[in-house]
Amino acid sequence: MEEVIKDIIIKENEDYIINMGPQHPSTHGVLRFEVCLVGETVKYLIPHCGYIHRGIEKMCEKDTYQQIIHLTDRMDYLSAHINNEAVCLCVENALQVQVPERVVYIRTILSELSRIASHQLWWAAFGMDMGALTTFFYGLRDREKILDIFEESFGSRLLHSFNTPGGLMHDIHPNFQNGIKEFIKYFRKKLPEYDQLLTNNVIFKERSIGLGVLSKEDAISFGITGPSGRASGFACDIRKRFPYSAYDKVQFNEILFNEGDTFHRYKARIEEMKESMNILEQLVDNIPAGDYTAKLKPIIKLPVGEYYQRVEAARGELGVYIISDGNKNPLRVKFRTPNFSNLFIMNKLAAGSKIADLVAISGSLDLVIPDIDR
């Protein structure tokens, strides 16, 4: 009970409050932190979200299951494919449809490509938050290679609503596999540059080691998933624990650290990029031939019931919960998004640290604001 009481924030009238956001360049979106300061030290911090709430869950209720897909793109736009896949898997499991093996492989490859692209952009922006502008250009330069692969096959670079319940919209471009192989060759050469530029940099290390330490118990009780949770030793990788798609066919390590500070949250993501490339190498040559979609009825009606599917998005566990009453529209859709849970640890991490470190801590959690508000 005492533990719980400690978490409650007691506001006082004499508190010196400043607002960080809603339009602050380093919150990467419209998010407001109500920060109480004592001198330069943070006393407490209250996140205020809702500035970019679009009512996606409500909009899903009027759409058919094919139409939901394009809305999930707009939640976590950096791992748009993984969001799509989560809904598709949920619908397919409810219908008990077996999708072709080719679709399973392509989806897994795309998930890993999205994860690398997302981490590259995070690395770029995190460096910029910490005052190293060069990383922004280098990160985006490498991300461009992945976006070109996406654009060649699906026509769009970021929000490619390429999945559909039952399979894919159309087949991949013949150049797809070669593009990935070239990218892996290229990016393996460029990753040491990331270390030289930022990981080994003494200024970056001094600022991030030991900052914002998250214990394993807190990670579990706050539901901090993804690389942020795994940096604290919370083994929460859905790909490993509850394999879906083709993840049971590949060998990879779950990146775990025990320190849980900003530097190790950073390291977890860098290591995860390497693991993602290992997964890609195992899959890219083995895409089986076959159909790119299962034959489904044009109007999908799920049987009455409740369905849940969890996948590992770039920032943590994404859950899709659908209640169906047998119509062509869902009765209720709920998304358990990773960023919403990850945001509310901010008070615990930032209380007691300096206000200049706030940017580093929120950057290391890799928050995407539209995913919080939905």
Partner 1 sequence: MKSVLNYFKEIFSALRSLWGGMRVTGSYFLRPGQIVTQKYPENRKQLKMYDAFKGEVSMPHDENNQHKCTGCGICQINCPNGSIEVISKKITTEDGKTERIIDKHIYHLSMCTFCELCIKTCPSDALAWGQDFEHAVFNKSKLTKQLNQAGSTLKKVVKNNTPANDTIKANSNLENKQTNN
DSSP designation for 293: B
Site string for partner 1, 204-243 (x = CB under 8 A): -x--------------------------------------
Alpha helices in the chain (DSSP H): 2-7, 56-60, 65-72, 80-95, 101-129, 134-154, 176-194, 202-208, 216-222, 226-230, 238-241, 262-284, 338-343, 346-350, 356-364, 369-373
Quote the CA–CA distance of 181 and 149 in Å, as a whole number: 11
CB of 89 to partner 1, least distance (A): 19
- Report if residue 362 touches partner 1, rule: CB under 8 A: no
User: Cα(first)–Cα(last) distance of the chain, in Å?
Assistant: 33
Binding partner 1 (rule: CB under 8 A), the pick from 27, 120, 161, 276 is: 161
Identity of residue 208? S
- Report if residue 153 touches partner 1, rule: CB under 8 A: yes
Quote the CA–CA distance of 163 and 292 in Å, as a whole number: 10
- Report if residue 189 touches partner 1, rule: CB under 8 A: no
For tokens 């692209």, the residue is: 117
Residue 283's CB is within 10 A of a number of other CB atoms, namely: 21
Q: Closest Cα to residue 6, out of 212, 218, 230?
A: 218
Binding partner 1 (rule: CB under 8 A), the pick from 27, 66, 309, 364 is: 66
CB of 47 to partner 1, least distance (A): 29
- Report if residue 70 touches partner 1, rule: CB under 8 A: yes
CB of 61 to partner 1, least distance (A): 12
Binding partner 1 (rule: CB under 8 A), the pick from 5, 14, 98, 298 is: 298
- Report if residue 159 touches partner 1, rule: CB under 8 A: yes
Binding partner 1 (rule: CB under 8 A), the pick from 109, 198, 268, 367 is: 198
Pick between residue 164 and residue 341 the one whose CB is nearest to partner 1: 164
Single out the segment in contact with partner 1 by CB under 8 A; choices: 14-22, 66-74, 114-122, 269-277.
Answer: 66-74
Residue 86 near residue 309 (C-beta atoms within 8 A): yes
Helices (H) and strands (E) in the chain, counts: 16, 10
Identity of residue 51? Y
CB of 218 to partner 1, least distance (A): 31
Question: Total residues at the site for partner 1 (CB under 8 A)?
Answer: 34
CB of 292 to partner 1, least distance (A): 12
Binding partner 1 (rule: CB under 8 A), the pick from 35, 36, 71, 94 is: 71
CB of 197 to partner 1, least distance (A): 5
Residue 97's CB is within 10 A of a number of other CB atoms, namely: 15
Binding partner 1 (rule: CB under 8 A), the pick from 1, 3, 251, 297 is: 297
Quote the CA–CA distance of 274 and 62 in Å, as a whole number: 41
- Report if residue 193 touches partner 1, rule: CB under 8 A: yes
DSSP per-residue letters across 70-82: HHHTTTSGGGHHH
CB of 367 to partner 1, least distance (A): 24
**Residues at the site binding partner 1, with contacts judged by CB under 8 A:** 63, 66-67, 69-71, 134, 141, 144, 151-156, 159, 161, 164, 169-170, 173, 193, 196-198, 200-203, 205, 295, 297-299
